[in-house]
């Protein structure tokens, strides 16, 4: 069974956000090649923001509107996709802030961006990239009104 084209679209979108962070982090190595640890307050702010955005992103799954029994996969995806995009945008915020802090630092270093980008990428792959676990969370939100959508199975190509 192969994933549906709707799932592949969601995965490409997610990959673009995640890849964008990786590209920005790689570019910062050439922009600020010094290897200097940022000040402790910068580390605390960035890592705290990474943790906060991860938790808020998980809570945002509950904002997916409930589906009805007769909703098509496309209709369900229409309910999931806006929340999914907001989760992606929210989770990339620490990496964007790290770029700003890099340029504000007395000694700019690529390490500042890496401190936020690496855990952000890992958490996005774990919590937002549409694999089975993430799809099941969306399915629970869609089924919250009493419907039994089988959203995950349909997107993964396990159901007709």
- Look at residue 21 and tell me whether its pLDDT is greater than 90: yes
CA atoms of 32 and 17, how far apart (whole Å): 22
The mean pLDDT of 58-62, rounded to a whole number, is 96
Question: Which pLDDT band holds residue 69 (cuts at 50, 70, 90)?
Answer: confident
Report d(CA 121, CA 10) in Å as an integer.
17
As a whole number of angstroms, the distance between CA 15 and CA 64 comes to 21
Whether 101 has a pLDDT exceeding 60, the answer reads yes
pLDDT at 160 over 70: no
Q: Is the pLDDT of residue 45 over 80?
A: yes
Whole-angstrom distance, CA of residue 16 vs CA of residue 22: 10
Structure tokens at 9: 């679209």
Q: Looking at per-residue confidence, does 5 or 86 come out higher?
A: 86
pLDDT (average), residues 48-68: 96
Provide CB contacts within 8 A for 37, sequence distance 6+: 43, 109, 111
**Structure token pair of residue 13:** 């979108």
50-75 mean pLDDT: 94
Rounded to whole angstroms, the Cα distance separating 37 from 119 reads 16
pLDDT confidence of residue 3: 74
- Percent of the chain at pLDDT > 70 equals 98
* Three-state secondary structure call for residue 30: helix
Check residue 159 and give its pLDDT.
61
């Amino acid at each position: 069974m192969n994933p549906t084209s709707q799932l592949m679209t969601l995965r490409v979108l997610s990959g673009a956000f995640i890849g964008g962070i990786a590209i920005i982090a790689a570019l910062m190595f050439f922009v600020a090649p010094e290897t200097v640890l940022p000040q402790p307050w910068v580390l605390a702010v960035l890592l705290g923001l990474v943790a906060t955005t991860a938790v808020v992103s998980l809570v945002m799954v509950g904002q997916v509107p409930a589906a009805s029994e007769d909703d098509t996969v496309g209709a369900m995806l229409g309910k999931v996709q806006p929340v999914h995009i907001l989760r992606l945008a929210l989770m990339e915020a620490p990496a964007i802030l790290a770029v700003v802090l890099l340029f504000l630092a007395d000694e700019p270093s690529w390490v500042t961006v890496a401190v936020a980008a690496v855990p952000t990428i890992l958490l996005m792959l774990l919590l937002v990239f549409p694999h089975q676990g993430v799809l099941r969370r969306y399915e629970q939100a869609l089924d919250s009104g009493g419907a039994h959508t089988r959203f995950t199975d349909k997107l993964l190509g396990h159901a007709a």
